[in-house]
Amino acid sequence: MSKRASIIDLLEQFPACNLSFAAYLDMLQPMKPRQYSIASSPLASPPNTVSILYDIFNAPSMYNHSMRFHGVASTYLADLPVGGKAHAYVRATNVQFRLPVDPAMPIIMICAGTGLAPMRAFMQERAAIAHAQPNLTMGKALLYFGCRDPEKDYICAAELEAWEASGFVSLRPCFSHHPGMSGGFKYVGKRLESDKEEIVSLFKNGAKIFLCGSASKLAKSVNEVLERIVMEYRDIGSEEARAWLAKQKADRYVSDVFG
């Protein structure tokens, strides 16, 4: 039996099964609200306006490869006409997942896929502050961004490259399917490890680390890399490094993860 057969798939395969519509509805799992990080800064957006980033899921069905599976929320959003309405509400994020009050404080941003959303908002805000106060000293900002293909998945590339050209951020992209286009790095973790001296230096100078992406993939791999870096530079064991890193998560290593 192929993976992830839906009730409809089984009913189509076994037409002799007699299931009432009411019974079918009772078998369905309730839909959960979809959560998206706001991808824009109020300093750079019209009043009462926000941006979000979402990936449109459209792939062969795992049960029947001749059919397509369309993501529920992403397909709905993609099909909305200009001016269309979607029911949504804004929920407060971790109070520490905000740009430092002092623009001179360095930041290290780590994300993958649509986890870029809050980082884009941060870059918009830094750019808006810099334009409003041209003599202000801005702290260094690193952005580690992982995706598959630079031609298909490198979202907001033009904006990010423009911000880098203006000196607001240093881009560190990683393309898993085209590592030759990202300095040979396929994954964010490996690039972080390669840049460990710079990361340690920035952290000693007050840098704050932000992470947004999959809890089971990106967050897990980044935690493992940072633990190794802590073990090396503090000359301590793995348990001590893990405990030290956990303390930083209160305010200097904050995450917004999903999955």
Per-residue confidence in pLDDT tens, the chain, 259 aa? 457 788 888 888 888 988 899 999 998 888 888 889 999 999 999 998 999 999 888 888 877 778 888 888 999 999 999 999 988 889 888 889 999 999 999 999 999 999 999 999 999 999 999 999 999 999 999 999 999 999 989 999 999 999 999 999 999 999 999 988 888 899 999 999 999 999 999 999 999 999 999 998 999 999 999 999 999 999 999 999 999 999 999 999 999 988 7
**Global pTM value:** 0.88
Q: Using alpha carbons only, give the angle 187, 192, 194 rounded to the nearest 5 degrees.
A: 100
Are 176 and 187 in contact, with CB atoms under 8 Å apart?
yes
Residue 96 in 3-state DSSP?
Answer: coil
Q: Which of 99, 170, 169, 168 is nearest to 136 (CA)?
A: 168
Count of CB atoms situated within 10 Å of the CB of 8: 10
Largest CA distance in the chain: 75
DSSP state of 38: B
Domains in the chain and their CATH numbers?
Answer: 7-79 (no CATH), 107-258 (3.40.50.80)
Cα distances from 184 to residues 142, 170, 175, 218, in angstroms, run 18, 17, 9, 18
